[in-house]
A and B are shown apart, each in its own frame.
Chain A
Amino acid sequence: MTDVPRQVANALMRHATWVMPSSDKAWGDAMQNEMQSIEEDREALRWAVGCLIASYGERTLGLLHSRPARWTLASLTSLLAMREFFAPAMVMAYRLQDQWLLQLFGAQTAGHDYHRFTPLLETVPSWILMFWIVSGLLYVGAIWRLLRKAGAAYVPFFLALIMDMTGSLMNRPFEIASGVVVNPHALVNAGAVLLPCLMGMMFWGMARGPSRLSS
């Protein structure tokens, strides 16, 4: 009777070859056949685990390089860009006392009213807004690079993320001093941090060598 590690290795290897993109089927078969030449069962199991990781990696790369993935990521990045431009636009509207724009922007915030932001709108300095404007422009640059496949799009994306975080950190004392909680929902705040990180990983993955699926 075959040992348990060998049985597990065989099962994992079958799954690995199934996960492997069809264009890479020969490589899946190569990994599977190679395992049959490994005498030691535990060594075969380690081999199979590695191959499973490789297969999922190839499959993920294939998905990342697909047109729908690129457009999805570009759409999500455009939301981030809009978020970056939102605060400067709202401050600008407040300073110009454009009530129509203020009502419009306020309706998009938690509480649907801009009045609760008034203490912050009055105190936030213009130089902090520059961080967010630059961040928004960098996100736009990342989208352009992503869709045009013009170089590594993760570079402007991560720069945008750094600018965004720096701006937010700099703004924190003003938020505390004014007593304004920009977003009271913890889940939304967590998502606002996690989503860009996840997107950054996707940008990074897309910068890796092209997958066969994209060719």
Chain B
Amino acid sequence: MGRKSIHSTQTDRLLAVLLKDASAWQHGYALMKQTGLQSGTLYPVLLRLSDQGLLEAEWRQSEISGKPPRHVYRLTPAGLSFAREQIVPARRTTSALLGAKA
């Protein structure tokens, strides 16, 4: 699995959001709001994660009547462990840096 190719700060931000409520399915727009990423950045990252089998996607009926079905996303079990590997050390580094500054 070529994980190196998907590593970026944008990916980390998305993984952190997906990891927060790992069992929940999330819409693209909600992910954009939570990560602060633009759709032009978000979707390529989602595509790569899905390519790598780290993200699952499925269609869900929209809660608003008359609106087309929406794609929802969540991490796969492989995605969960990848996100934990990726995010936890990053958080530790950040905390260590903040601790060192204080």
- Docked CA distance A36–B46 (Å): 19
CB contact list, B18-48 vs A, under 8 A = 27-29, 32, 38-44, 46-48
> Contact: B48 with A209, CB < 8 Å?
yes
Interface membership of chain A positions 163-177, coded 1 if the CB is closer than 8 angstroms to chain B and 0 otherwise: 000000000000000
0 or 1 for each of A24-39: is its CB under 8 Å from B? (1 = yes): 1011011111101110
B93 sits at the interface (CB 8 A): no
Name the residue in B28, B32, B48 with the highest tally of chain A Cβ atoms < 10 Å from its Cβ.
B28
Q: What is the bound-complex CA distance between A52 and B39, given in angstroms?
A: 9
A209 near B28 (CB under 8 angstroms)? no
In the bound complex, residues from chain B placing their C-beta under 8 Å from that of A24 are: 47
* Per-position binary interface string of chain B over residues 1-29, scored 1 when its CB falls under 8 Å from any chain A CB and 0 otherwise: 01001100000000000000000000111
Give the one of B2, B43, B51, B70 with max A CB within 10 A: B43
The answer for the CA separation of A208 and B6 in the assembled complex, in Å, is 8
Question: Does B62 make an interface contact (CB < 8 A)?
Answer: yes
B contacts with A, residue count (CB < 8 A):
26
> For residue B39, which residues in chain A have a CB less than 8 angstroms away from its CB?
31, 46-47, 50-51, 54
* C-alpha gap A52/B51 in the complex (Å): 20
**In the assembly, what is the distance between CA of A53 and CA of B65, in Å?**
29
In the assembled complex, which residues on chain B have CB atoms less than 8 Å from the CB atom of A31?
A: 28, 39, 43
Shortest beta-carbon distance from B69 to chain A in Å: 6
Verify B29–A37 contact, CB threshold 8 A: yes
B77 interfacial contact with A, CB 8 Å: no
Determine if A67 is an interface residue (Cβ-Cβ < 8 Å). no
1/0 per residue, CB under 8 A from A, across B46-82: the answer is: 1110010000010000101001111100000000000
Q: Is A57 an interface residue (CB 8 A)?
A: yes
Bound-state Cα–Cα, A49 to B57, Å? 23
Cross-chain contact B62 with A54 (CB below 8 angstroms): no
Given A53-B40, A54-B43, A58-B44, verify A33-B2 contact (CB < 8 Å).
Answer: no
A210 at the interface (CB under 8 A from B): yes
Closest 5 CB pairs of A and B: A50-B39, A50-B40, A30-B71, A53-B40, A209-B5
Which positions in A face B, CB cutoff 8 Å?
24, 26-27, 29-34, 36-38, 46-47, 49-54, 57-58, 208-210, 212
